[in-house]
Chain A
Amino acid sequence: MNKFMDFLERVLLPIADKLNNNRYLSALRDGFMVALPLIIFGSIFVVIANFPFLDKFLSEDAYAAYQNALGPASAATLSIMGIFVIIGIGYKLTEHYGVDAIYGGVVALAAFLILTPQVLEGVSGVIPTSSIGAEGMFLGIFTAFISAELYRFFVQKNLTIKMPAGVPGAVSRSFSALIPITLTLSVFLVIRIIFSYTPFDTVQNFIYTVIQQPLTVLGSGLPATLIAVLLIQIFWFFGLHGQIIINSVFDPIWYALNDENLQAFQAGTELPNIVTKQFIDTFLVGMGGSGMTLAVVILIFMIGKSRQLKELGKLGGPAGIFNVNEPIIFGLPIIMNPIIIIPWLIAPVVVTIITYYAMSIGLVPPPAGIIVPWTTPPILSGFLATGNAWQGAVLQMFNIIVVGIIWWPFLKVLDKNYYENEAKGE
């Protein structure tokens, strides 16, 4: 058993290292981090605009006026999150090369806008918000990667205008960026022109139909979700941060799905997706942390006899309410614990399936596209993420019980073990 564990550890560590230290994936992750405060701001106002029962108290006109007044908060942030992600990725990737990063951010945005159709239903001079929101997400990510690479390449090749000594730093910097930006954006202009002669018409359309749609369809399915969930659990079992490793691959898909739901939610139409960023963050991770360990904490308080577990419950309980569970993961311990691996892998799979089907048969509304911070306590987070639906909160409570039942026999064995050892030691 130990040899096998050693072997797995030796296989997983390099994978984690590669995935995490890959410059594109880390720029992607950090780019999303840049957008996150804005996304959460927008989400808060979607929640406020859709408070439950408000439509019953207010007249139809008053309710519409209320929603219209709050609308810009999310329209300017959440609905066009692609823009902030693009700037973030362009910035972070350029920064990685030690090149003036703010230009990397704006050149990425400009390159993306060059590729974006600025016409909607025959009206020119407009940018459809859908193309700078969910639909443009993948194009935006690729554009940011390529434009930042081109920009830093031109800068590092020294294709810049040199200013004589004595010119203020800021002035010479603005000129030094001129040639690399001109070259980079020209490349994107050429790409746009080439695509206008293809049946896809725009690059946006090409990326959306050829890459984004197939990937999101795949990513929104139960099998791909279960694989992602299992991989996260396996990485954590070896004490490696599963989300940070897996999310960098899945986040673009989950966020795109999320945005599709948000658009439908705000338009009052049927929500197209079940698996979204919030499906993972609220209904799986947001249940006390990775592996849904709030149920484990509750169970410890209910059945724990050994001093070790009781101490752990006190230590890990308060943090667990806010979905921080490293004390449980390293203290129980969950890592490398052959008894615990069984509930550790089974519970998230079962909860994923329950949640998925509860939403697909309509018992619980799917996540509404509102981004609830992952530190939001469960029950509250389920309510908020489903667009203020009580069913979301009930589903989380139900799932906590399910996790508790799955864990119960295994935790009992562990507790007995600890208790006997403690008794022997005295």
Chain B
Amino acid sequence: MKNILLACSSGMSTSLLVSKMEEAAAAQNLEVKIWAVGQDKAIADMEKADVLLIGPQMRFMKKKFETAAKDFNVPVDVIDPVAYGRVDGKAVLAKALELIG
């Protein structure tokens, strides 16, 4: 079971991505838990996550999240803007799994 946490300003636009990523995971028979939160809750939810991906519009917060993520050993990355715009669940899922390793 892989836990993937997404964060944007209030967890609205990333939640669009969650359902697409779940579809992609189901198609590949992967067991994953994916959820989206607002940026203010991201740090609190980090310990339950294996990876944190943030919306490209929040990329100026990457440093802050990375510092917090060190304690939990959670990789943090910014979602590719093109994949974000297309709500490309498959690509973002692949990226998340790659980061988890």
Contacts and interface: CB of A to CB of B under 8 A. Distances in A.
Interface of A: 13, 16-17, 20-21, 29-30, 33, 236, 239-241, 243-245, 312, 315, 319, 322, 324-333, 335, 375
Contacts of B70: none
B81 A327 contact: no
B86 to A, nearest CB: 6
Given A30-B40, A315-B86, A333-B81, A324 B12 contact: yes
Given A17-B63, A326-B8, A331-B86, A236 B81 contact: no
A138 to B, nearest CB: 23
Contact of A21 (B12, B16, B56, B64): B64
B15 to A, nearest CB: 9
A13 B60 CA distance: 6
A285 to B, nearest CB: 12
A349 B60 CA distance: 26
Contacts of B56: 239, 330
Interface string B2-15: 00000011001100
A330 B60 contact: no
A326 B63 contact: no
Interface in B34-52: 38-40
A327 B59 contact: no
Nearest to B84: A330
Interface of B: 8-9, 12-13, 16, 38-40, 55-61, 63-64, 81-82, 84-87
A236 B87 contact: no
B81 A330 contact: yes
Contacts of A326: 8, 13, 16, 55, 57, 84-85
Nearest to B78: A239
Contacts of B58: 241, 244
B10 to A, nearest CB: 9
Nearest to A34: B40
Contacts, number: 78
Contacts of A331: 84-87
Nearest to B38: A33
A243 B8 CA distance: 12
B57 A329 contact: yes
A239 B61 contact: no
Contacts of B59: 13, 239-240
B99 to A, nearest CB: 20
List 6 tightest A-B contacts by C-beta distance, closest first.
A330-B85, A331-B85, A326-B13, A16-B60, A241-B57, A17-B60
Contact of B57 (A239, A315, A322): A239
Determine chain A's interface SS by DSSP, over half rule.
helix
A240 B57 contact: yes
A323 to B, nearest CB: 9
Nearest to B12: A324
Contacts of A17: 60-61, 63
Contact of A319 (B13, B39, B63, B81): B13
Contact of A33 (B12, B40, B86): B40
Contacts of A16: 60
Contacts of A315: 86-87
Contact of A327 (B9, B38, B63, B87): B87
A244 B9 contact: yes
12 contacts: A20-B60, A21-B60, A244-B9, A312-B85, A315-B86, A319-B16, A326-B13, A327-B87, A330-B57, A330-B81, A331-B84, A331-B87
Nearest to A16: B60
B60 A240 contact: yes
B9 A243 contact: yes
A335 B40 contact: no
A32 to B, nearest CB: 11
B85 A333 contact: yes
A16 B85 CA distance: 21
Contact of B13 (A33, A312, A324, A332): A324
Nearest to B62: A17
A240 B56 CA distance: 7
A244 B12 CA distance: 14
Contacts of A319: 12-13, 16
B11 to A, nearest CB: 10
A324 B16 contact: yes
A330 B16 contact: no
A319 B85 CA distance: 12
